[in-house]
Amino acid sequence: MTDVPPAPELVLPPTRHLGTAISAGAATAIVLAFAIALLVDPLVPVAAKPAVAALGLLFAGTLAVVTFTLARGHGALWVDRGGKRLGLGVTSHHDVWWVPLTRITGIRMLALPTEGATIERWMLTLDLDAKNDGLLAIVLAESDARGFLDGIGQRLARHLGLRYTEGRDDTPADPPDLSPHTTRYAVHRGAALQTLLLAFGTSLLAFGIMAVTQLEAEPVVGFIFAPILMVMGTALILVSLVKRFASESLGFDGRSFTHAFTFRKWRWGERTIKAPTPRFRIRFLGLRGAMLELVGDDGTLVLAAGVTARSKLTLDEIAALPNRFLAPPRTGANPPS
């Protein structure tokens, strides 16, 4: 008889936002009630009622998805001893990034710099890939409750059989050599909240356009609320489209990193930080997915925001992004693009 591999062990349960989920559920009910009231209102033209019903269902359906997602939770942590891997929940229990245990070199609790603050904040991280000598880490949690993070870190270290350290500086003692290089990447399909933002934006824009068409009958709504709804809807749609079709570029000139968004010949949002010894961290943002942050001497760059385990640009590829800037071997091979 074939042995059945053990099921992954849940180390940390998912984080649920029940209060916010209840609020979102109440908003869903209000939107549905408002849409029904418009459908039975004799003052609403019969020709406009199908559009009202469609927009009401779209908006309420989007809110219902948000309600379910908040109640379901995110951010759980599993250990799969049979597969020798660690599971990191991203946006849900179906969206999990599995990291081989052989890639994890240690667990560290790090004191964050807090200039002028009276309360010290701490960050719990997983160090990855010894060959990069601390170039990349995964942020598990961040809090001012030092004892809480220390308990999680020590418990996880015992489960994984890893060393556990505490410090105040995550700059590598012997940083790897980096070479000037520019690379491009894009999340494209499957980004966190991409579909929800598009649905919300479409609903708000359509409601704004409908309010403008009723300007003569409802001047207050047309003049005050219609422009706000149209601007908010357009902004949400643009955010979704940029994530879907635009690319990001990251360049290193030997001392500074420059990040920008690009689409065909257009380039915008350019930002540069000094980082001769950069630190890359993968940070999880709940329903907003994950991102790669580049910490420099005078700031932090946000890279690939919204990436998930199911997006076209996977978390494994994001984790490999810092390797593109490692100096090539002495044979003169170019770094991967």
pLDDT of amino acid 256: 93
DSSP H/E element including 54: helix 49-72
Eight-class DSSP state of 328: P
pLDDT of amino acid 298: 86
How far is Cα 200 from Cα 217, in angstroms, rounded to an integer?
Answer: 26
pLDDT of amino acid 119: 72
SS3 182: strand
Question: Whole-prediction pTM value?
Answer: 0.81
- For residue 87, list its beta bridge partners: 78, 98
Domain residue extents for the chain: 17-72, 77-186+246-325
What amino acid occupies position 18? L
Of 313, 291, 314, 312, whose CA–CA distance to 302 is shortest?
A: 291
pLDDT of amino acid 3: 56
pLDDT of amino acid 111: 84
**Angle at Cα 207 formed by Cα 203 and Cα 213, nearest 5°?**
150
Q: What is the DSSP secondary-structure string of 231-261?
A: HHHHHHHHHHHHHHH-EEEEEE-SSEEEEEE
Contact 237, 218 (CB under 8 A): no
DSSP H/E element including 303: strand 300-307
pLDDT of amino acid 196: 87
pLDDT of amino acid 1: 44
Sign of CA dihedral 62, 66, 67, 69: positive
Which segments of the chain have a pLDDT < 50?
Answer: 1, 133
